[in-house]
Amino acid sequence: MPKISIIVSSEKLDKLFPAVTLATTAAVTGWESEIFLHFGVS
């Protein structure tokens, strides 16, 4: 089974929506998908 890992390293919520869309589409087509959220501390 193919896999996809998506790393989101932004504090903005608008950066999360494309990652969720990509992961959901991958899952529907049979890929194993995961999203790693990284919010930097400044």
The verdict on residue 19 lying in a domain is yes
Q: Domain total for the chain?
A: 1
**Domain hosting residue 11, numbered range:** 3-37
The verdict on residue 13 lying in a domain is yes
The verdict on residue 42 lying in a domain is no
pTM of the shown model: 0.78
The verdict on residue 30 lying in a domain is yes
The verdict on residue 16 lying in a domain is yes
- pLDDT value at position 42? 63
4 vs 12: CA distance, rounded Å? 22
25 vs 11: CA distance, rounded Å? 23
The verdict on residue 21 lying in a domain is yes
The verdict on residue 17 lying in a domain is yes
pLDDT tens profile 1-42 = 899 999 999 888 888 999 999 999 999 999 999 999 988 766
18 vs 26: CA distance, rounded Å? 12
The verdict on residue 32 lying in a domain is yes
